[in-house]
Amino acid sequence: MTNFVASVFSSSNYWFIVLRSTAPILLVTLGAVITEAANIKNMALEGSMLWAALMGVVVSAWTGNAWLGLIAGIASSVAIALILGLFALKLDANPVLCGVALNLFSSGGTVFVLFSLTGDKGISSSLSSKTLPFLHLPYIENIPWLGSILSGQNIVVWISVLAVVIVHLLLNKATIGRRIRATGENVEAAKSAGIDPVRIKFLTLAISGVLAGIAGCFLSMGYTSNFTSGIAAGRGYVANAAQVVAGGTAFGAIFASLIFGLTDAMATYLQNVGMPPELIQALPYLVTILGFIVVTLIRDHREIQRKRRLFEGDTGSTFGRGPGRPHQTTGEAAS
Amino acid sequence: MKATTKRKESVFRKIGYFFSDKEKLEPTLVIIFTALFSILLGVGLIFLVSKDPVQSARNFVLGPFMRTYNIYYLIIAMVPLIFTGLALCIIYQLHYMSLIVDSSFYMGAVIATAIGVNVALPAGVHPLLAMILAGLVGGLIGILPAILRIKWRANELVSSLMLNYVFYFVGSYIILYFLRDRNQAILASLPFRSTFALPKLIPNTQLHAGVLIAILFIVLVSIFLYKTRWGYQIRVTGANPRFAAYAGIPVATVVILAHFISGFIGGVGGAVEMAGLYRAFIWQTNPSYAWDGVIVAMLAKRNPKYVPLSAFFLAYLRVGADFMSRRGDVAFEFVTLLQGFIILILASDKISNSLKIRRLRKAALASEQESKARTTMPSTEGNTL
């Protein structure tokens, strides 16, 4: 067993697959992080991905250009996110229920449209769709082990890395990020500061739509080269769990989506050892839940420790235990 | 003679009361409006994509009533919807969002298959045992998201959706590795023993005794939610968990119990579906009746009393779409699209409550005027005095 694990982890092919299967999850998780920062749950990410995957294939087959497909995919994905906003923010619907409804609408709607266009319910192979380009990196290619992992990845893998940085900067450095977080923390306070919370929430939904759109297009135009029914396979839901694991930060999203990516990539290897494929397919979802529990346990533990330290620090300062301590604890409390 | 006329009058008066009591009429009206609206929307979609729209639309709207076989099929199609709808009524009374009923239903069917294939028992006891065991397993599955929510504050909808994937794969693993019929080309379990089948209500049709079990469950869940202490505690917890805790209701226990019962109903539903309708487990994918249950429970306003009507409406849509897709060029999945749209409309309070809001506003205006009239009267008296 240890031999097997060692051989898998040392194989460059494994890490290649890890990067490939982490990228879509990472993008959607970032989408979930940004809407959650404004305190609105986008459960419709799954539906957004489905429409993006379908429209990407359809438009790229129709125009013969993968980039136009990507744009159409993103547009349809944003449309779903904005419909969610319309119902949840303007018509007072429960956003979670609306998300579920939109996912149902999308899972049926994509198959309906696919069947109406191609006469096939399962797969879009009759459409000659394009794929997004795979990047062969000129010098890195030649590095022995690392080169075969990094080179030859789809461009979306690199877009997902870029997206982490952009979302991080957006949330922490930009004015709009401060507005988003203010809306998420206290709507009334944000309003009194002149922020329109509804507009901010719409904006975050649109951004998450863009991210889910790229992820959806990647699934049908890079990860595989066809649209198949239910291609998102619950990744939108996984993203909502991964967002909690990420703790609301862009860099946390890398860690959270890696949990899924590592297990997902491991699945193909476990199959070779003779584990039944059904149980392997269940593994990524199970691990995401377990990861969620572990992270919550750690966070609770830290919270208890923090409170204890705060308490001790308070008493410590009154009894003159150390001058640095209270300052440090207040700093932590603020974070 | 006199007595009969009097009785007739009272029946009419009762009907009159029913229509004048808007509080009672509203859920029924909402169901009927939603039904008409979604049928219209469906017909519109058919005209958009079909090459022979008139025939397809006719099949969709009238198909369920065109043949006696279809009418029986319509009644049978209601059974799983009633079970998942009832299960979700309980969850929604709690104001939880868990969709784990999907797993309970699927695993209930798997457990029932295992018992139907492997256990030898006399006719009546065999399906009964399967239902009880399937219910217990379904109940145990049902409490998982509740525990995750209570202990680790995991969003119950997200965790239940993940668990649905897990249990779907586990269930198909059990069927594939322990119960599979290797002589069949498609994925199917070994055939059930003959004692496992539920009796037919009308011979040589598909109409099975599961319909009666479903009706029994509607009555039981109604009584449970509205006439027992546990049901009351569930409703109070749903309305205001903090108040419930102050009032001494053990909130965590109530939540877990409600989830267990909801999962139990789902599990029994899966077993009934297997014993009533099939000769072997032949589901190639998860039928996901829980998603239909969401609409049933929402249309019924979480009240089991209205579940049969909303289940009938949904079964009608599904049977119509099935009939149409077999005879035309429109995919069956368009009904899923419609369902998503229906939930969207039902979920938006501003749309679905517009009737209610208008009535409340009218009542408020009237009472305001009345109180104005009342307050002005004594004040004028005071002036004159």
> What confidence score (pLDDT) does residue A81 get?
92
Is there a contact between A108 and B153 if contact means CB atoms under 8 Å apart? no
Mean pLDDT of B93-110: 91
Whether residues A95 and A239 share a domain: the answer is yes
Select from A43, A83, A108 the Cβ nearest to the Cβ of B333: A108
Q: Residue B95 is encoded by which pair of tokens? A: 């104001």
Kindly list the domain boundaries of chain B, sorted by start residue.
Answer: 80-306
Beta bridge partners of A154: A134
Would you give the distance in Å from CA A331 to the centre of its chain?
30
pLDDT digits (tens, 9 = 90+) for B111-159: 999 998 888 888 888 889 999 999 999 999 999 999 988 888 888 888 8
pLDDT digits (tens, 9 = 90+) for B64-96: 787 888 888 888 999 999 999 999 999 999 888
Q: Residue B329 is encoded by which pair of tokens? A: 């060029």
Contact A107, B336 (CB under 8 A): yes
Establish if A271 belongs to a structural domain.
no
Establish if A4 belongs to a structural domain.
no
B9 inside 8 A of chain A by CB:
no
Whether residues A301 and A196 share a domain: the answer is no
Q: pLDDT-derived band of residue A335, with 50, 70 and 90 as boundaries?
A: very low
Q: pLDDT-derived band of residue B265, with 50, 70 and 90 as boundaries?
A: very high
Min Cα separation B159/chain A (Å): 7
pLDDT averaged over chain A? 81
Short-list A111, A123, A7, CA closest to A51? A111
pLDDT digits (tens, 9 = 90+) for A126-165: 777 777 777 777 777 777 777 777 777 788 888 888 999 9
- Neighbouring CB atoms inside 10 A of A139's CB total 8
Q: Residue A234 is encoded by which pair of tokens? A: 């619950």
Whether residues A244 and A297 share a domain: the answer is no
Q: Give contacts of B349 with chain A, Cβ < 8 Å.
A: 91-93
Q: Give contacts of A270 with chain B, Cβ < 8 Å.
A: none
Asked if this assembly's ipTM is beyond 0.85, the reply is: no
Q: Give contacts of B337 with chain A, Cβ < 8 Å.
A: 105, 108-109, 112
Report which DSSP code applies to A122: S
Q: Give contacts of A238 with chain B, Cβ < 8 Å.
A: 162
Q: Which amino acid is at B260?
A: F
Whether residues A88 and A30 share a domain: the answer is yes
> What confidence score (pLDDT) does residue B168 get?
92
Min Cα separation A325/chain B (Å): 31
> What confidence score (pLDDT) does residue B16 get?
65
Whether residues A246 and A295 share a domain: the answer is no
B230 inside 8 A of chain A by CB:
no
Give the Cα-Cα-Cα angle A232, A95, A237 (nearest 5 degrees): 25
Whether residues A235 and A330 share a domain: the answer is no
Is there a contact between B337 and A105 if contact means CB atoms under 8 Å apart? yes
Would you give the distance in Å from CA B218 to the centre of its chain?
10
> What confidence score (pLDDT) does residue A327 get?
44
Euclidean distance between CA atoms B202 and B199, whole angstroms: 9
Establish if A262 belongs to a structural domain.
no
pLDDT digits (tens, 9 = 90+) for B300-350: 888 888 899 889 988 888 888 888 888 877 778 888 888 888 888 877 766
Q: Number of A:B CB contacts under 8 A?
A: 144
Q: Give contacts of B162 with chain A, Cβ < 8 Å.
A: 234, 237-238, 241, 285-286, 288-289
Q: Is the pLDDT of residue A320 over 60?
A: no
Contact A32, A249 (CB under 8 A): no
Beta bridge partners of B208: B200
Q: Is the pLDDT of residue A314 over 60?
A: no
Select from A91, A92, A279 the Cβ nearest to the Cβ of B173: A279
> What confidence score (pLDDT) does residue B376 get?
61
Establish if A161 belongs to a structural domain.
yes
Whether residues A92 and A21 share a domain: the answer is yes
> What confidence score (pLDDT) does residue A274 get?
73
Number of domains in chain A: 2
> What confidence score (pLDDT) does residue A313 get?
66
Euclidean distance between CA atoms A311 and B360, whole angstroms: 51
Higher pLDDT, B357 or B154: B154
Establish if A263 belongs to a structural domain.
no
Mean pLDDT of A103-110: 88
> What confidence score (pLDDT) does residue B135 get?
94
Mean pLDDT of A289-301: 84
pLDDT averaged over chain B? 83
Establish if A23 belongs to a structural domain.
yes
Mean pLDDT of B256-285: 90
Q: pLDDT-derived band of residue B262, with 50, 70 and 90 as boundaries?
A: very high
User: H or E stretch including A154?
Assistant: strand A153-154
Establish if A266 belongs to a structural domain.
no
Q: Give contacts of B330 with chain A, Cβ < 8 Å.
A: 116
Establish if A288 belongs to a structural domain.
yes
Helix/strand/coil for B215 = helix
User: H or E stretch including B152?
Assistant: helix B125-152
pLDDT digits (tens, 9 = 90+) for A66-95: 888 889 999 999 999 999 988 888 887 888
Surface-to-core class of residue B379, CB atoms within 10 Å of its CB (0-12 exposed, 13-18 middle, 19+ buried):
exposed
Chain A interface mutation, best of B187, B344, B352, highest count of A Cβ atoms under 10 Å: B344
Mean pLDDT of A250-277: 81
Is there a contact between A116 and B49 if contact means CB atoms under 8 Å apart? yes
Select from B176, B343, B347 the Cβ nearest to the Cβ of A278: B176
> What confidence score (pLDDT) does residue A332 get?
40
> What confidence score (pLDDT) does residue A280 get?
82
Whether residues A88 and A140 share a domain: the answer is yes
Is there a contact between A105 and B344 if contact means CB atoms under 8 Å apart? yes
Euclidean distance between CA atoms A98 and A88, whole angstroms: 7
Q: Is the pLDDT of residue A315 over 60?
A: no
> What confidence score (pLDDT) does residue B23 get?
63
Whether residues A241 and A296 share a domain: the answer is no
Select from A244, A278, A293 the Cβ nearest to the Cβ of B173: A278
Domain that holds residue A333: 276-335
DSSP B338-380: HHHHHHHHHHBHHHHTHHHHHHHHHHHHHHHHHHHHHHHHHHH
Chain A interface mutation, best of B98, B336, B349, highest count of A Cβ atoms under 10 Å: B336
Q: Is the pLDDT of residue B384 over 90?
A: no
